[in-house]
Amino acid sequence: MLSQYKNIQVSIDGSKEADLAFSKAVAIAKRNHATLEILHVIDTRSFQNVSSFDSAMVEQVSKDAEKRMKDYQARANKAGVTDSHYSIEFGSPKTIIGHDFPKKHNIDLIVVGATGLNAVERLLIGSVTEYVTRTAKCDVLVCRAKEIANALEG
């Protein structure tokens, strides 16, 4: 018997893969009559290296994220998802996406894009997607952009 998901989390970072993950999460939520939790994590490490750190920068990043998340929620509603919410969290994407948010919201499926850091950053601190797939307590669906998937195939 196929598993029916009740609480689906999709992580959005502005990439093509995240957009594809969103589309797939919407389809799965609709098919399962599930709640869709749209999540964006603002990585606080990105502010640590800014010498002239000021709260206006954080406010602008938050404002941009809020607009993007409202757009995603509107797209989900237009596609027929009747129960969707969005959240903007600050902190470590690995921990929030893979553990904290799923635990808090009783998530049974995490949908993520296979994207993010460049090769050097992945080597030094690791891929968020790789970490989530390895450590999450629920099912994880990793989505690749079609161009990337085609290149990997041959």
Q: What letter does residue 135 receive in the DSSP assignment? A: H
Checking if the pLDDT of 137 tops 90, the result is yes
The CATH superfamily assigned to 7-143 is HUPs (3.40.50.620)
Distance (Å, rounded) from C-alpha 52 to C-alpha 72?
32
| Residue 1 clears pLDDT 50, i.e. is over it | no
Residue 149 is predicted with a pLDDT of 45
User: Tens of pLDDT along 5-57?
Assistant: 999 999 998 888 889 999 999 999 999 999 999 999 988 776 665 555 566 77
User: How many CB atoms are closer than 10 A to CB 127?
Assistant: 18
Q: Please state, as a whole number, how many other Cβ atoms lie within 10 Å of the Cβ of residue 100.
A: 15
Q: What is the pLDDT of residues 62-73, one digit of tens each?
A: 899 999 999 999
How do the domains of the chain map onto residue ranges? 7-143
| Integer Cα distance of 109 and 106 in angstroms | 9
Q: Which DSSP helix (H) or strand (E) runs through 137? A: none
- Tokens, residue 94: 């690995």
pLDDT at 152: 45
- The pTM for the full model equals 0.84
- State the maximum Cα–Cα separation within the chain, in Å, rounded to a whole number: 56
